[in-house]
């Protein structure tokens, strides 16, 4: 085996693929799409409440007015109780409301029926809010009928919000505050990228082999280099293409996010200034009436945001990125070697379905176990799947962000992955050597095993 020959094949594969229009378009458009997917929900959240809706209510219970308070998003108006349900339907347009709510009088059990009328289907959020407010009013009435002394004071005391401050204890006995949701997002993104890259670029190798075999180009190439050198050059060349694309994606995504972040941050700052001004006015009014409420009590959400940002800053991203690159390269090489063998054994892509099934099944199993690992990163299934080479690229990347992977498990997983790749590459090379020069016959698994037994 000559390293120089492999280098020539790598250069050919790399230059041929990065100059394609499809590569350039995909490299440019993908970061824009990913950045858009990240910021669209934020933009929607910022501007979703611009259109104020008016909801008019006919309350025959006499209990609801204190439970429906207008805000910047919704204005509630109460109509005279003499308004009938039939008149609501007939004179809908005269109320200048998006929704009309008719609440019947209480029945013998203290319940009421609620009917809503609107020109467009009632939104789920609005429906659930109305149901919740009316349900609270009827519940509180029933509790008051129990004639409990100091009822309002008791209810204020029993209403509690529980928030768990989660800490992970290190081997040194130190505590580290963590948020599982952040780890889950990072784990999902990394492991799914591994799955996507391995599947896409592995299939790219297979299609490239089929194309060269169909055009008889491979016959010219193998006259100058060995089949093993050709296969390894193709695998490493496509790997460099994938790493190049990934590096460009990271740079472009970072640039796009940085640019959009300024726009979104300024919008959020304006909205936060309005909220702060409103809270300042409310605080002044509270202080003037000598009500003992701390003005900082409503700033909890800002504290939570700061806490999340602090926890994100403590994540060891260089280590995670290094592990991602290691498992991507090794996982890709493992599966691409098998895809190359399949591509060499067929004459067209339509014949690859049967032979590629044993390759895609482990990939799918790894994807399903990956979803389990998000919830249980230290379960026996997650640990074993992160050791098995055919599933470890996805599953181990789903465990690493949680910080629950001992060093010995990480090292053992990488060693097993390397050993398996070497074994698969040796077997694939034997199949590749025979398959690329075999035409006119659809290969079967029996043929592949026969080619494995051929002596070099």
Note whether 393 and 263 are same-domain residues. Answer: yes
**Is 297 a member of any domain?**
no
Domain boundary pick from 106, 121, 155:
155
Note whether 117 and 184 are same-domain residues. Answer: no
Note whether 252 and 340 are same-domain residues. Answer: yes
Whole-number Å distance between alpha carbons of 187 and 145: 52
pLDDT score of 134: 92
Note whether 197 and 122 are same-domain residues. Answer: no
pLDDT score of 279: 45
**Is 36 a member of any domain?**
no
Domain boundary pick from 105, 139, 155:
155
Note whether 234 and 340 are same-domain residues. Answer: yes
R_g over Cα of the chain: 32
Query: Quick one: angle between helices 180-214 and 227-288, nearest 10?
Result: 150
Domain count, the chain: 2
**Is 18 a member of any domain?**
no
Nearest alpha-carbon partner for 240 in 2, 4, 23: 23
Whole-number Å distance between alpha carbons of 447 and 156: 77
Note whether 394 and 331 are same-domain residues. Answer: yes
pLDDT score of 384: 93
Note whether 110 and 252 are same-domain residues. Answer: no
Domain boundary pick from 122, 155, 188:
155
Q: What is the dihedral of CA 332, 337, 343, 346, to 10 degrees?
A: -140
pLDDT score of 309: 56
Note whether 145 and 194 are same-domain residues. Answer: no
Note whether 356 and 259 are same-domain residues. Answer: yes
**Is 435 a member of any domain?**
yes
Whole-number Å distance between alpha carbons of 52 and 35: 29
Nearest alpha-carbon partner for 237 in 11, 1, 422: 11
**Region of residue 76 (left: phi > 0; alpha: psi -120 to 50; beta: else):** beta
Domain coverage including residue 247: 180-275+314-452
**Is 387 a member of any domain?**
yes
**Is 269 a member of any domain?**
yes
**Is 76 a member of any domain?**
yes
Give the count of alpha carbons within 13 A of 329, CB side only: 12
Q: What are phi and psi of 297, to 5 degrees?
A: -65, -25
pLDDT score of 167: 59
What is the model's pTM?
0.63
Tokens 């726009």 correspond to 263
Note whether 253 and 400 are same-domain residues. Answer: yes
pLDDT score of 60: 92
**Is 380 a member of any domain?**
yes
pLDDT score of 293: 39
Note whether 224 and 338 are same-domain residues. Answer: yes
Note whether 128 and 264 are same-domain residues. Answer: no
pLDDT along the chain (456 residues), means of 10: 78 82 78 67 57 86 88 86 87 87 89 88 84 89 78 71 60 61 77 84 84 74 75 86 82 67 54 48 43 42 53 71 89 89 80 82 89 85 92 89 86 94 86 77 79 72
Q: Domain holding 67: CATH number?
A: 3.40.190.10
pLDDT score of 34: 67
């Amino acid at each position: 085996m000559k390293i120089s020959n492999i280098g020539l094949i790598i250069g050919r594969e790399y230059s041929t693929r990065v100059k394609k229009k499809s590569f350039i378009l995909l490299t440019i458009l993908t970061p824009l799409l990913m950045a858009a997917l990240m910021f669209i929900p934020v933009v929607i959240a910022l501007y979703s409440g611009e259109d104020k809706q008016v909801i008019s209510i006919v309350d025959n219970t006499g209990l609801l007015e204190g439970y429906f308070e207008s805000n910047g998003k919704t204005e509630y108006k109460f109509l005279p109780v003499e308004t009938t349900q039939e008149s609501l339907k007939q004179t809908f347009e005269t109320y200048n409301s998006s929704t009309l709510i008719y609440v019947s009088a209480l029945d013998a059990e203290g319940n009421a029926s609620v009917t809503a009328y609107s020109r467009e289907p009632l939104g789920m959020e609005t429906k659930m809010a109305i149901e919740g407010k009316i349900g609270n009013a009827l519940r509180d009435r029933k509790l008051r009928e129990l004639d409990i002394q100091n009822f309002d004071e008791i209810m204020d005391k029993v209403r509690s919000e529980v928030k768990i401050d989660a800490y992970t204890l290190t081997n040194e006995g130190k505590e580290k505050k963590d948020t599982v949701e952040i780890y889950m997002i990072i784990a999902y993104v990394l492991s799914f990228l591994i799955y996507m890259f391995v599947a896409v670029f592995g299939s790219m190798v297979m299609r490239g082999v089929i194309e060269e075999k169909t055009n008889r180009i491979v016959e010219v190439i193998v006259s100058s280099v060995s089949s093993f050198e050709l296969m390894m050059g193709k695998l490493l060349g496509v790997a460099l293409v994938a790493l190049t694309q990934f590096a460009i994606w990271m740079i472009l995504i970072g640039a796009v996010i940085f640019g959009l972040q300024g726009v979104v941050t300024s919008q959020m700052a304006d909205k936060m200034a309005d909220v702060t001004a409103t809270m300042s006015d409310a605080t002044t009014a509270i202080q003037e009436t000598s009500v003992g409420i701390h003005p900082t009590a409503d700033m909890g959400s800002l504290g939570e945001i700061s806490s999340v940002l602090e926890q994100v800053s403590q994540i060891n991203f260089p280590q995670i990125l290094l592990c991602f690159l290691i498992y991507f390269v090794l996982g890709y090489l493992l599966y691409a070697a098998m895809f190359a063998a399949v591509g060499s054994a067929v004459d067209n892509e339509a014949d690859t379905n049967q032979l590629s099934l044993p390759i895609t099944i482990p990939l799918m199993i790894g994807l399903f176990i990956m979803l389990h690992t998000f919830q249980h990163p230290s379960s026996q299934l997650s640990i074993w799947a992160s050791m098995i080479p055919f599933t470890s690229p996805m599953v181990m990347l789903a465990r690493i962000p949680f910080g629950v992977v001992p060093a010995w498990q990480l090292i053992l997983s990488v060693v097993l992955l390397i050993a398996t790749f070497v074994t698969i590459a040796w077997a694939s090379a034997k199949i590749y050597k025979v398959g690329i020069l075999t035409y006119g016959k659809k290969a079967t698994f029996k043929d592949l095993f026969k080619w494995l037994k051929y002596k070099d």
